[in-house]
Structure 1
Amino acid sequence: MESRDDLRNFHKCKLCIYRTRSTHKILNHVRLHRTRKKEDLFVCNLDSPQGYQCDSCDFVTHFKVLLSNHIRNVHKELEINEDLRHVLKSYECGECDFQTCSVMVLLKHFCNSTHDCLKKDLRIRYSEQCFNCEYCQFETQWKIELKKHIMQKHSNPEDIKWLTCDHCPYKTIVKQRLKTHLQAKHTETNPEDLKWFKCEHCFYKTKWRTKLKNHVISKHTNPENVKWFQCEHCSYKSKFKPHLRNHMLKHTNPEHVKWFQCEHCFYKTKWKKELRNHVVSKHTNPEDVKWFQCEHCFYKTKWRNKLRNHVISKHTNPEDVKWFQCEHCSYKSKFKPHLGSHMLKHTNPEDVKWFQCEHCFFKTKWRSELKKHVVSKHTNPEDVKWFQCEHCSYKSEFKTRLGNHMLKHTNPEDVKWFQCEHCSHKTKWRNELKKHVVSKHTNPEDVKWFQCEHCSYKSKFKTRLGNHMLKHTNPEDVKWFQCEHCSFKTKWRNELKKHIVSKHTNPEDVKWFQCEHCSYKSKFKALLGSHVLKHTSPEDVKWFQCEHCSYKTKWKGELKKHIVSKHTNPEDVKWFQCEHCSYKSQFKTHLGNHMLKHTNPEDTCSVMVLLKHFSNMEHQGLKLKCDYSHKGKMKCQLKNHILLNHINPEGVKWFECEHCSYKSLHKSSSKNHIVSKHTHPKDVKWFKCGHCSHKTTQKGHLRNHIMAKHTSSKNVKWFQCEYCSHQTRCKSFLTRRCKVV
């Protein structure tokens, strides 16, 4: 039998039958009891004490005496020690037929069985040995842990004896934490002389053993072999108990939470680490910050984890990255938090926690989006930290947008281009590539459409739906963007930018987009894209076909206009009414052109000014000076004038009729010719006069007819000839007469 000295050298657990000679092992064992739930507190799954194995068979027992009896009865040829010939006392369980010769084995039987008689007594013993906090539900087995808890959570900071760092403003209550801080931040030791703890599975290394343990658990341990800490209020679970504690603050009443307030601004948070990050990012001088520089590029950051993410996303081979795949779609990400944010798209809206704006009806599934919304919509511009571009006047409220903008000033050779797998399209922005793939190469049935609640409009992109919703929003509830140079205002910031570029920016300061096939150039890349379709082979163009007739076009906007003007009930159309006369139009641009008729010529942009602009452009066959005193209020009239008078006919694209020798400089004139001359009357849409039996194939002719025949002379604007007393109701009639004369 074991001597009395051997028994004294064992450390015994007070909650189960476990014992060991190692102090470290007994402490780890006790921690297992602390981390368990109350119902599993006294259940020990360890096979202790260590059993004794028979050398001749598979017999195992907890005591040498039983092993001796086994050897004597089964293996009689073996020599038996006479000191082990004892009669053992048998112990029986009162609840079942279990029998044993060991009291400790009997105790283990009670712990692992369903008998509650002993568990209740053991729980009482455990609760008597715990130290409970007077202010909260915290409990521990160690008195020193209780002291630390009270000092950190329930003590006035002024009454605490702080341990301060001599090199920086860091301070703490625990001496060991100060040592760790000094070693990590202010020790000028050669990294080669430090004792590094390296991971056996990857290249990770650290100065602290505990971090290595956490790394192995989080990265290289099978989830089935990990003890998970489950939240009682939601589906969140974590491999580490401190993470669960931080998460529980989300479910804690704000009144019962200790808030960490920033000394420099109104920011406050539930997490001390978040406050530190806030102070570093917002209120610390960049010269006093330790920057983490990327070895592969010029990127640098204040946080080590962001540098790791940068290296993984920018400089790591995709084959060497662990991808996180979505279970519902083809989305995958290099970072688990990104996958978590993406999963909200597949979550039932009723099961999602929505973040509601306090100032308007906006709500979102993501807290970061709510912050951006508050900054951009409800924050005074003077209180916003603007990020200014070093190369131009661009500035933004968000650093990420400034980063995207900087690509415009980056040498194309130094930019990482995102190439489309289906066509030759490439872009500097990953988000633009995603939009391109969705809009151009994705089956409409596989796209998630965003439907307007007020009309039939739908879009593949949520942002466009948001812009569209402004059309149905009360003007009083809309934030208007006012031009600083004129009375122009709009609901969309992008439209204001276009207005300033087109109306109030010096042409020399504008970046022009030049067509490779002709002399056309534009201030906007989108307009150049639309123009290039004129030089594209019809076979290579995606045509937009009308569902109601044979009409088709290269431009989606033209198809929309066609449907509105030809196949939409007038009662369902939003009409734009002129304030000065009875004119109304289905299109706002038409109303704008019409309003020029009611505008003072002195306030109107003269065509001669536009001619001066055209003279700076190297048109083929275009004279630098106009020989005529032509002027007008609309740009289209100037273009027609230039085509008729100043362009060499050989350099003009003519629209020829397929049925006869007729040709025209204008596509619309060619269409009108085909309708009036070569189309069967049954297939023509006739415009009938409401006062007589007159009908015509052209809407403009009907207007002239009504004005000439059925309009009172008092309500007509007369056009006077400059050379004689002749006057007419239609300007086109006056132009024809002047040419004849």
Structure 2
Amino acid sequence: MTQLRHHPSLLFNCEHSNVETFYCKDCDFETKLSLLFKRHIQHHIKESEQTRSRENNTTQSYICQKCNFETHFSLKWFQHTTTECVNSQRVSTWHECDQCDRKYKHRPSLREHKILKHLNQNQILWHYCTQCPYKSPHKRHLKTHTYLRHTDEGKIYWYECKKCPYKSKRNDNLKKHVNARHLDEKDVKWYECSQCQYRTKQKYNLIRHVNAQHLDEQDVKWYECDKCPFRTKHKVCVSQHMNARHLDEQEIKWYECQKCPYKSKRNDNLNKHINARHLDKEDIKWYECKMCPYKNKDRSTLVRHVNAYHMDGKNAKWYECQDCVVKFKYKSSLNRHVKRGVCFKPNMK
């Protein structure tokens, strides 16, 4: 009875679907079971190895019949034909939002988008954290938040880097760290801006860069604080702003150094502190300028150096005063200018 109750036919009107058949390119073998096909491929691998040894290591090319992919390794060819190529063709129907231009590969992603962007706040069923002001329309996000923010240190499973003291509560953060810090230049997958020389190892950073630097004002997606006029082009900056400006002292999540009394409201500041104060010289990751001997422990400081000293006027990032004609290459210089309250108005004749 239990098996009948959970049978897909009662839920989805189960029908027979056409399962893809796997064909071997080296013989007439075919099957609908990927495991059997993989075993079959193993036999060809052994045969090809014997053939290569007899023919003085002559390599064979494996070519995908659906695209131009080519490799000398049969397992890579098998992986491509059974997953990568299939998945790229499978995304032929996008799930489009009927209220804006966004579209998604998966229906649940579209549903989340509609809840967050097109529902009134009073229509959303919020899941609240019992230990801080965090809330989310998705229960799984609340579970993730509770684990990352409010779980005792001893109960957390840490993902540790094998090449430095870095560790993280999330595996994806560890992968980003390894890609950013420990991969050789030739192995890094760079995401390059099509409108300037900017490039980054993280796709998300490229999206942030384009949104901040190359979109027209009316096309920029702004993230606004609901308690003050603050707004930003970066979603993470809203969270940092809320934590720094609008939380009570007892509600603030402090990031504390394990080796000294230093603490910060931002995790990236704590990482900068550890890198600057507590790492051995051989463990320090230096960011070096490619145009002069300058180097720094902080990547953002290196970016400011390049912007100030090695960028020409049209490619430099300028911080402009909204009340006068002055502009600066450093945001801190703009802030000092604004605090002084002395603006330089053009002479009007």
CA distance in 2, matches of 1:209, 1:12: 35
CA distance in 1, matches of 2:90, 2:240: 41
CA distance in 2, matches of 1:169, 1:257: 28
Specify which of 52, 67, 77 is matched with residue 44 of structure 2.
Answer: 52
Shift of 1:334: 0.7
Specify which of 200, 203, 225 is matched with residue 162 of structure 2.
Answer: 200
Matching residue of 2:176: 214
**Percent identity over the alignment?**
31
CA distance in 1, matches of 2:260, 2:117: 44
CA distance in 1, matches of 2:21, 2:205: 32
Is 1:228 matched with 2:190? yes
1:20–1:137 CA distance, 2 compared to 1 (3 A): farther
Matching residue of 1:353: 317
Matching residue of 2:239: 276
Q: Is the 8 A contact 2:164 2:283 kept in 1?
A: no
Matching residue of 2:140: 176
Matching residue of 2:208: 246
CA-to-aligned-CA distance 1:151-201 (integer Å, 9 cap, x gap): 2334333332222212221111232211111112222x3x33432222222
- Structure with bigger gyration radius: 1
Matching residue of 2:55: none
Shift of 1:224: 2.4
Matching residue of 2:305: 342
Q: Is the 8 A contact 1:230 1:238 kept in 2?
A: yes
Q: Secondary structure at the match of 2:333?
A: helix
Shift of 1:135: 4.2
Q: Secondary structure at the match of 1:145?
A: helix
CA distance in 2, matches of 1:231, 1:192: 42
Structure number with the bigger relative contact order (C-alpha 8 A, sep ≥ 6) is 2
CA distance in 1, matches of 2:33, 2:160: 29
Q: Is the 8 A contact 1:53 1:59 kept in 2?
A: no
Q: Secondary structure at the match of 1:284?
A: coil
Gaps of 5+ in 1: 1-7, 23-47, 61-104, 115-121, 380-472, 478-741
Matching residue of 1:299: 262
Matching residue of 2:67: 111
Shift of 1:219: 1.9
Q: Is the 8 A contact 1:197 1:212 kept in 2?
A: yes
* Paired AA for residue 213 in structure 1: K
Shift of 1:55: 4.8
CA distance in 2, matches of 1:328, 1:258: 34
Shift of 1:56: 8.8
1:297–1:256 CA distance, 2 compared to 1 (3 A): same
1:225–1:11 CA distance, 2 compared to 1 (3 A): farther
**TM-score if structure 2 supplies the norm length?**
0.70
Shift of 1:235: 2.4
CA-to-aligned-CA distance 1:41-86 (integer Å, 9 cap, x gap): xxxxxxx9666134596349xxxxxxxxxxxxxxxxxxxxxxxxxx
Equivalent residues in 2 for 1:310-709, closer than 5 Å: 310-344=273-307, 345-378=309-342
Q: Is the 8 A contact 1:11 1:21 kept in 2?
A: no
Shift of 1:337: 1.3
1:260–1:55 CA distance, 2 compared to 1 (3 A): closer
Q: Is the 8 A contact 1:359 1:378 kept in 2?
A: no
1:127–1:317 CA distance, 2 compared to 1 (3 A): closer
Matching residue of 1:562: none
* Paired AA for residue 236 in structure 1: Y
CA-to-aligned-CA distance 1:559-610 (integer Å, 9 cap, x gap): xxxxxxxxxxxxxxxxxxxxxxxxxxxxxxxxxxxxxxxxxxxxxxxxxxxx
* Paired AA for residue 176 in structure 1: R
1:159–1:342 CA distance, 2 compared to 1 (3 A): same
CA-to-aligned-CA distance 1:295-315 (integer Å, 9 cap, x gap): 444433222221221222233
> What is the root-mean-square deviation of aligned Cα atoms in Å?
3.7
**TM-score if structure 1 supplies the norm length?**
0.35
CA distance in 1, matches of 2:178, 2:231: 34
CA distance in 2, matches of 1:276, 1:135: 27
Equivalent residues in 2 for 1:51-130, closer than 5 Å: 52-55=44-47, 58-59=50-51, 108-112=64-68, 126=90, 128-130=92-94
Q: Is the 8 A contact 1:197 1:207 kept in 2?
A: yes
Shift of 1:112: 0.8
1:172–1:378 CA distance, 2 compared to 1 (3 A): farther
Q: Is the 8 A contact 2:208 2:234 kept in 1?
A: yes
CA-to-aligned-CA distance 1:231-276 (integer Å, 9 cap, x gap): 2332222323222222232233333344333233221122222112
Count of residue pairs brought into register by the alignment: 292
CA-to-aligned-CA distance 1:92-151 (integer Å, 9 cap, x gap): xxxxxxxxxxxxx88x2351179xxxxxxx999756422233344433332112212232
CA distance in 1, matches of 2:21, 2:163: 36
1:146–1:257 CA distance, 2 compared to 1 (3 A): same
Matching residue of 1:155: 119
CA distance in 1, matches of 2:197, 2:246: 36
Q: Is the 8 A contact 2:256 2:263 kept in 1?
A: yes
CA distance in 2, matches of 1:346, 1:168: 45
Matching residue of 1:550: none
Gaps of 5+ in 2: 1-16, 23-29, 53-61, 71-85
* Paired AA for residue 298 in structure 2: F
